[in-house]
Chains A and B, each alone.
Chain A
Amino acid sequence: MNESIVKLRLEIEKAIVRANKLMNESHVIASLKESSNLFNSKHILSMSKKDFDKIIKNLKKPNQLTENEEEFIKSLIRMPDEIKQIKEILGFGTEQVTIIENIHSKIEKRISSFSEVDVLELEKKVNEYKVLLNKLDKNDFNLITEIDLIAGILEKSKLSFEEKINILKGINQINASIAAKYNISFTSSEENIISEDSLEETNLPLSLLQDLFTEFAIRWEIEDTATMSERAKTQKKNKLAQLQNKLLKYGNYEQMREKLQILKDHHLDFVFSMFEILTRILLFTKKEQLFQLIESANKTGIDLTTLVRKQPTVLFPQIKERKNKGKKSPSSSERTFYGGWDNCINNIKFLEENGYSVFQVFEDCPTFFILNNKTIRKNQKYLQMYGFSLKDEEGKTKHGFSMLGRGNLLKQADIAIENGCYQYFYKNLSRFASDINVYRIKLARSKGLDDSKIFRLFNGTKRNGICLRAEFYNPTSEQFGDMPSDTFDKYQAVEPYVESKEIYDQIIANSDNDNISEIATSDSVIDQLDKLYKDPNNDLVYNFNGIIISRLKVLRYYQTLMMNSKITSSKELLIYVITKHSMLNMEELSTIKQCIREIKFGEKVKL
């Protein structure tokens, strides 16, 4: 770790210590306030030993107790109840009343010396510090965007100006390496996309464009009109004219000529008859981008011609075009996004970085190269989080990479774990996160069906596999329910009452819920859950007396909710995160609730 980042880390730890001290002090003052109200001649005899201990322990310089005062309190602690009753009737002597008043005054001074703090705000801050620490420690994925937080820490630190600058440079370096790895632009995602509006008008003469067409044998006209209807012919002609007008308006003769030559030299001139593709290449692609694509394909052994034939949009970068829906007003236009160059280049990089066979993926799934690169990288992170691998035991690339373009992988993994088909998906990754209603499997098992009635063996030439029986993947099933909600009904599933459910749902819906850091792992509630219910042989599972719950689901949702300053840890919150997406009947829910009773809440934030 960079030396300046180590210094920043230290400052963050100091800030956490300061915040925790303030929170603890706030708790002390709150309890002293309670004691202060009782600490008078009238009520002092009703105070408990615990109350007195708090006073002795928490009155510090310059308000600490004298020996005499401490001895007076201790005598009250030792005093038998019968004597207290008599004392209550007789009252305290003048000297004792003075001692009581002096101690009360010291308590009040101690209370007034503390400036009120917003404990919830401090807890939120500590969580933010911890997220930042986590990012600094082992982050190669999330950009460090907490610049204001860092600035605040540095402002309070005693570091020199030079040291502060070095820290900010260090943060920049980390972000730059993440950005380079994932090809992230520091502009918004839309700014990274070339807009048609940004093109400069060139008003190319028609004769020059025709010269280009002639030189490269481009016939800018529709072919095979015999089978076309008159309407289709007219539509196509109009489209061609529209594309040609764009070339005339924005085309740069020299640049277009260079690009056509590159395409021809690399046997990609078949795109000369794909006018929509060709227009975008000529207007939006830089020649350097064409060379980069050609080099990437050559380096990885992909046949460039096949790549382009199958995925012609890899020849131009992401662009947005305005599609006029009518001439009513500018607002009647909609923006459409096209272009696979960026994804193709970055997906090849992704495969290489991870040691996957680019060639095999290309053979298996040609469309992989135009899948969204950010989605792919995110999904790989999610798969790794849940122990799935895209390589087999021998380190060979598995099949099924198209799966990396799917959504909801985390939720699907949780459901697979809880419904007993994690292993099935582990062995059949290409089917993971497809639209199978996995809850049916749990329902079937609850009805006494053994696995031979749920899965069947499947014989291939290279391997034998298992597959689900039709009842479990067909869109409809009378026995097990069509949709998950039907299966829930058949299972007689119940949902626990959670008063803040709506708020929790909203927070969860507005987050990716894909981060697990010290906020969750160092939390005392999670610590207790882990000690009591984590499967000793499987980090992915909590076993609540036989009820299997995805541990990472609990951690992910718990972290998201705890990051919110208005949310505090509670039994209700824990029930919510444990049961989210789970199909549980009354008995199972009761078992979980019984287990949760053993968890203690309200522990201080751990350092």
Chain B
Amino acid sequence: MIEDIVLTEINQDTLEKMYHQNGYDVMMSFACNHELVKKNIELLKSFGILKIEDLLINRSHLFLKDNEKLLKSFAKFNVANLVNLINEDYTMIDELMDN
């Protein structure tokens, strides 16, 4: 249920921004997939990506992708370079998705 969104462990301020940007239906998707969302957040963090909050708000669909597919996307790149770029500009994550 929508209350389960708290289980994603995303802070309240970001949650509110996400709700504002994405609406109820997407937030419900997050709530119902909180384990997947958490896993994907951990995966991105493990690569050294810092702009998680921007990504959650503006590229929410990323966190609903299968964890394995997300992991495989990184395999196509020089991860260190890509992560640096993403940390400078979160929209660079689109490169990951576009390839």
Contact = CB atoms under 8 A, between A and B. Distances in A.
Interface of A: 232, 235-236, 239, 274-277, 309-313, 336-340, 343, 363-368, 370, 398-400, 402, 428, 430-431, 434-436, 458-463, 465, 467-468, 470, 473-474
Contacts of B99: 460-463
Nearest to A275: B1
Contacts of A276: 1-2, 28
A406 to B, nearest CB: 10
Interface in B61-99: 61, 64-65, 69, 76-78, 85, 88-89, 91-92, 94-95, 97-99
B92 to A, nearest CB: 6
B25 A340 contact: yes
B8 interface: no
Contact of A399 (B60, B77, B88, B97): B97
A468 B89 contact: yes
Given A277-B28, A310-B33, A367 B22 contact: yes
Nearest to A363: B69
A309 B89 CA distance: 30
Contact of B26 (A236, A274, A370, A460): A370
18 contacts: A275-B1, A309-B33, A310-B33, A313-B25, A366-B29, A366-B61, A366-B65, A367-B60, A399-B98, A400-B97, A430-B98, A458-B85, A458-B95, A461-B77, A461-B99, A465-B95, A465-B98, A470-B89
Contacts of B29: 310-313, 366-367, 370
Given A277-B32, A366-B61, A367-B60, A338 B24 contact: yes
Given A239-B3, A276-B2, A474-B88, 7 more contacts: A277-B1, A365-B61, A366-B61, A370-B25, A399-B94, A402-B61, A459-B78
Interface in B1-56: 1-3, 22, 24-26, 28-29, 32-33
Given A235-B3, A461-B76, A309 B32 contact: yes
Given A310-B64, A459-B78, A460-B99, A402 B59 contact: yes
Contact of B95 (A232, A311, A337, A460): A460
Contact of A236 (B3, B85, B89): B3
Given A366-B65, A367-B22, A367-B26, A239 B95 contact: no
A343 B25 CA distance: 11
Nearest to A469: B88
A461 B75 CA distance: 10
B84 to A, nearest CB: 9
Given A236-B3, A310-B64, A467-B85, A430 B76 contact: no
B42 to A, nearest CB: 18
Given A367-B61, A431-B94, A473 B88 contact: yes
B24 A337 contact: yes
A366 B89 contact: no
A439 B26 CA distance: 32
Contacts of A366: 29, 61, 64-65
Contacts of B76: 460-462
Contacts of B25: 311, 313, 338-340, 343, 370
Nearest to A401: B61
Contacts of A277: 1, 28, 32
A541 B59 CA distance: 32
B89 A428 contact: no
Contacts of B92: 467
A462 B64 CA distance: 24
A309 B33 CA distance: 7
B1 A239 contact: yes
A367 B98 CA distance: 16
B34 to A, nearest CB: 12
A392 B94 CA distance: 16
B75 to A, nearest CB: 9
A376 to B, nearest CB: 14
A473 B58 CA distance: 14
B10 to A, nearest CB: 16
A340 B91 CA distance: 26
Contacts of B2: 276
B91 A434 contact: yes
Contacts of A458: 85, 95
A435 B21 CA distance: 13
Nearest to A311: B29
A600 to B, nearest CB: 46
Contacts of A467: 85, 89, 92, 95
Given A462-B76, A473-B89, A313 B28 contact: yes
A436 to B, nearest CB: 7
A153 to B, nearest CB: 43
Contacts of B69: 363
A339 B26 CA distance: 10
Nearest to B1: A276
A339 B92 CA distance: 31
Nearest to A398: B98
Nearest to A364: B97
B55 to A, nearest CB: 12
Nearest to A399: B98
A435 B29 CA distance: 24
Nearest to B28: A313
A462 B75 CA distance: 12
B19 to A, nearest CB: 11
A276 B28 CA distance: 10
The 7 closest A-B pairs by CB, nearest first: A470-B88, A430-B94, A473-B89, A276-B1, A367-B61, A461-B76, A460-B99
Nearest to B32: A312
Contacts of B61: 364-368, 402
A189 B26 CA distance: 21
Nearest to A318: B25
A145 B16 CA distance: 39
A312 B30 CA distance: 10
A596 to B, nearest CB: 37
Nearest to A467: B92
Contacts of A363: 65, 69
A274 B98 contact: no
Nearest to B69: A363
Contacts of B22: 367
Nearest to A336: B24
